[in-house]
Amino acid sequence: MRETIRISKFLLIILLISSVVMNGCKKDEDGGDPPDLPPQSALLMDFSAFQENKAALKSVETKWNFLQASIIVAVWDVIALVAVVVPATAYAEAFKHDPVYKGNNSWEWAYSIMANQIEISARLVSRRISNEQFTLKFYVSTSGPIQYGQGSVTLDDFLWFEGTVRYDGTEADWTLYEPVNAKEYLAISWEKDFEEDTWMINYEIINPGDPENGSYIEQGHTTRTDYNAYFVIDYADKTTEIEWETTGYSGRIKAEHSFGDTNWHCWDENQMDIECGK
């Protein structure tokens, strides 16, 4: 009788172990739900407030403050256009496709798009690294040369950017590589507070061979009632602060290298120079 009880207990243990193993294998086979991808805005900075209004600049004398802000922002607008717009646009296509589970807590989005008669094939690969974070790596191949900077380049499963993302969608940190020589070029940090509806994105040049290595631009949206958006720019050892209101687009700039002082210089909703405080 005792021997029968021992055997029964042994068989029960074996069944429990087998059940755990089988359930574990089944879970790894389907992977559960894929992670939610961060938005394109976690990569691509928005310069539109200083693009759309440039056409309205007809008098340098009366719109000098806004003009200075636009010129300084334009430097980073060009950097983003060259380095970030194409990979960020290709990345955004992933939202239209379903990922495939690859095992080992990894998912892959694979798809192709056409741009200027060139096929761009992309692989976006995620991997869970903890209960809070997962990694994303974005690989690109092209059927021919694509424009990059002043030249062109053909890509073959090139790792264009990679990063670490929080599952709750509040943070993402990226490293963006330069396609011509595959060197690190930009570090991108993004944060989002959903309760306050605030966010921040920062670009920093991290290429030691670049004379502007270490330069950065930070853009954010705050809860302030007057100037609720801002840029902080450090470029060529010159610091600029810009703040503006996202509805009427009135704003102000502080840039000692442009104005010769550390005061704020303001403009109204028509980009006309005004005294600050009015």
pLDDT tens-digit series, residues 176-203: 999 988 899 999 999 999 999 999 999 9
267 vs 53: CA distance, rounded Å = 12
What pLDDT sits at residue 96?
Answer: 97
pLDDT tens for residues 118-151? 999 999 999 999 999 999 999 999 999 998 887 8
165 vs 256: CA distance, rounded Å = 37
Question: What radius of gyration, in Å, describes the C-alpha atoms of the chain?
Answer: 25
Low-confidence ranges of the chain (pLDDT < 70): 1-31, 52-61, 278
Cα dihedral sign, 206-199-91-168: positive
Which residue has tokens 């998912």? 107
The 10 Å Cβ neighbour count of residue 174 is 23
Closest by Cα among 245, 247, 265, 246 to 255: 265
Strand partners for 255: none
Question: Angle CA(86)–CA(205)–CA(255) in degrees, nearest 5?
Answer: 110
Residue 148 CB burial class (10 angstroms; 0-12, 13-18, ≥19): middle
How do strand 118-128 and strand 106-115 relate by DSSP bridges? antiparallel
What pLDDT sits at residue 269?
Answer: 93
Closest by Cα among 48, 37, 35 to 129: 35
What pLDDT sits at residue 25?
Answer: 39
Backbone angles phi, psi at 133, to 5 degrees: -135, 155
176 vs 82: CA distance, rounded Å = 12
H/E stretch holding 2 reads helix 2-30
Question: Which amino acid belongs to residue 78?
Answer: V
Closest by Cα among 112, 114, 167 to 136: 167
Per DSSP, helices labelled H in 39-169 are 64-83, 85-92
What pLDDT sits at residue 31?
Answer: 65
What pLDDT sits at residue 57?
Answer: 53
Cα distances (angstroms) measured from residue 118 to each of 112, 141, 153, 156, 262: 10, 10, 12, 13, 49
134 vs 172: CA distance, rounded Å = 10
